[in-house]
A and B are shown apart, each in its own frame.
Chain A
Amino acid sequence: MSQSVALVGHRDYTGSKLGMWMFLATEVILFGGMFLLYAAYRSDYPGDFHAAAGELNTLVGTVNTLILLTSSLTMALSIAACHHGNRKLAMIMILVTVIFGGAFMVNKYFEWMTKIAHGIYPSSEFLLAHPKGEIIFFGLYFTMTGIHGLHVLIGMVLLVGMFFKVMNQPNAQVSFLSGHGLQRADGGRLAMLDPNGVPLWKSEPIDDTMERVVVKTKYWPVKSRFRVEDFSLLENVGLYWHIVDIIWIFLFPLFYLIT
């Protein structure tokens, strides 16, 4: 008498994507609050905003935009690589995405340092001597690009995590706890069967000295038989990265292109 258990279990791929999209909605609305302030203050101080924006370097902004767009490309390519069965390419693309993210952050760092060196930062004496609209412009500039940059950093950390996961992944693990599955198998053995029912592996006989049995496997799907749900986590991180890109797509013209 045997009992079978799905090794990779029932994961709700669509459900986890749904959860991720809802989380992204919260991120967009989080930034939306700041865009609301931008809109309101720009309406109040159109001239000051125009003048202050002249301080920003359009070239750096454009380069940063291109960097992020390209990082979105490499992000999408990493997932496509998984679907094509190409683990190596996937890992390379993830790494390239991180590097692009890093390049963005380096640019941002130098941009900020330049401003700060010129005395332009929140509450600086230099800034406070300027018209109110310009003070607000830079208050919003540092806040919005700062919080955006924080999200880029978080994305980079997540991607590094994904790099290692793809390297070791996907794998599956099933464990049977004493009192539960183990009890049922008492006296029998755990076995892994191929599709024809031939045992690929068999455990020692189960007895009540065992508290817990863990079975781990490692596998990598071939292109024709990949399951999208195996890459669910990478896809979700990808979605996050793209949203961070989209936020920048709006930040860019509003801060750099209103001269």
Chain B
Amino acid sequence: MNHDNETPHESAPYSLYLLTWLALVLLTATTVTVAGLNFGRLSILVALVIAGIKSSIVLTWFMHLRQESKLFHMILLVTIVVLVIAIGLTFTDILYR
């Protein structure tokens, strides 16, 4: 268990984070605009997709997920799968009563 040899990460330039932030702001503007356009039942789906993209950006760039080992990606995957199953299976009840 000798972890003395952790290679120091490259220090990311500040501009990287600024660009990430910009992308998030643009996506926020998009989602607000789209909400006003009324796609009916698709609206919620579009909103959730954009929210998903924003979250991926935060995870990948702000939370450094792209630099992490597969194990960390697995934690994310497990979390998402758990939520999808919990909500999905509950809906087999809710929707079909």
Q: Are A and B genuine complex partners?
A: yes
**Which A residues have a C-beta under 8 Å from some C-beta of B?**
6, 10-14, 17-18, 21-22, 25, 28-29, 32-33, 35-36, 39-40, 43-44, 58, 62, 65-66, 69-70, 72-73, 75-77, 80, 83-84, 223, 225-229, 238-239, 242, 245-246, 249-250, 252-254, 257-259
Proximity string of chain B (1-28) to chain A, C-beta cutoff 8 Å, 1 when within and 0 when not: 1111010110111100110110011001
CA distance A6 to B1 in the complex (A): 15
Which residues from chain B sit less than 8 Å from chain A, CB to CB?
1-4, 6, 8-9, 11-14, 17-18, 20-21, 24-25, 28, 31-32, 35, 43-44, 47-48, 50-51, 54-55, 58-59, 61-63, 68-69, 71-72, 75-76, 78-79, 82-83, 86-87, 90-91, 94-95
Chain A residue nearest to B28 (CB atoms) is A65
Known: A80-B14, A249-B51, A257-B35. A22 touches B21 (CB 8 A): no
- Contact check, B75 vs A21: say whether CB atoms are below 8 A apart: yes
Residue A84 contacts which of B11, B62, B86 (CB distance < 8 angstroms)? B11
Partner of B55, one of A35, A229, A250: A250
Residues of B within 8 A of A257 (CB): 31-32, 35, 43, 47
**Would you give the shortest CB distance from A93 to chain B, in whole angstroms?**
10
Given contacts A29-B83, A75-B62, contact A62 B14 (CB under 8 A): no
10 contacts between A and B (CB under 8 A): A13-B3, A70-B21, A80-B11, A80-B17, A83-B11, A229-B6, A246-B58, A249-B55, A252-B51, A253-B48
Closest to B73 in A: A21
- Counting chain B CB atoms within 10 Å of each CB, the highest count among A21, A58, A84 belongs to A21
